[in-house]
A and B are shown apart, each in its own frame.
Chain A
Amino acid sequence: NAGVTQTPKFQVLKTGQSMTLQCAQDMNHNSMYWYRQDPGMGLRLIYYSASEGTTDKGEVPNGYNVSRLNKREFSLRLESAAPSQTSVYFCASNKGPMNTGELFFGEGSRLTVL
């Protein structure tokens, strides 16, 4: 049982390049999330998907787009990467409505934008 799987684990981009971070979960969870983690700022929510077919903005959505491809997969796209998007990105999932807030996280994707 893999849980939440993120790819790639590491990526270096040049300013203006685009890329997509992939996330898949095998726990039959309804809700999925993308967070970014920066030193001294904890984890900040970028986008979330409460259920298949829906997506909503989180705290820091600018510069990102998401796609909930199916129940298992939730991707995060950077259309034109900027140095400010250098961060560690975490995908997470949970069962969905009425959940306490217990999130299951992937191992993270470390992105550097030069």
Chain B
Amino acid sequence: GESVGLHLPTLSVQEGDNSIINCAYSNSASDYFIWYKQESGKGPQFIIDIRSNMDKRQGQRVTVLLNKTVKHLSLQIAATQPGDSAVYFCAENSGGYQKVTFGIGTKLQVIP
């Protein structure tokens, strides 16, 4: 079936460096792609989304890139901080009533 998945389950980054978290998706009919951050013991928190007709969107210290040709999504975090340590999920919205499908997640570890 359709699925959203991640290339790397764990990513370790030095504090101050940039982080890149990747995601592969298979449902080309999705309208939106979304990144969530989940800190230990908490619920996921929305970071940023991108519409399927865009290829780049920037937020505060984050950039999401969408490559529809190869069905690839990435989240770039600039100047990674210890507070960025969390599990990051990519997700896609492909249903008429927001059926949001999540990938398995990537754990980002920031090394002080």
Give A contacts to B, CB under 8 Å. 4, 31, 33, 35, 40-45, 48, 50, 56, 58-59, 90, 92, 94, 96-97, 99-108
Contact = CB atoms under 8 A, between A and B. Distances in A.
B97 A100 contact: no
Residue among A31, A59, A100, A105 having the largest count of chain B Cβ atoms under 10 Å: A100
A70 B9 CA distance: 39
Contact of B49 (A4, A100, A104): A100
Contacts of B46: 102-104
A57 B92 CA distance: 18
B98 A31 contact: yes
B101 interface: yes
Contact of B98 (A4, A59, A99, A106): A99
B34 to A, nearest CB: 5
Contacts of A56: 97
B11 interface: no
B99 A45 contact: yes
Contacts of B97: 31, 48, 50, 56, 96-97
Interface string B68-112: 000000000000000000000101110011111111110000000
Given A43-B89, A90-B44, A105-B44, A100 B32 contact: yes
Interface string B33-44: 010100001111
A37 to B, nearest CB: 9
DSSP class of B's interface residues: helix, strand, loop or mixed?
A: strand
B45 interface: yes
Given A42-B89, A45-B101, A101-B100, 12 more contacts: A33-B100, A40-B104, A43-B89, A100-B31, A100-B93, A101-B49, A101-B91, A102-B46, A104-B46, A105-B44, A107-B42, A108-B41
Contacts of B36: 103
B56 interface: no
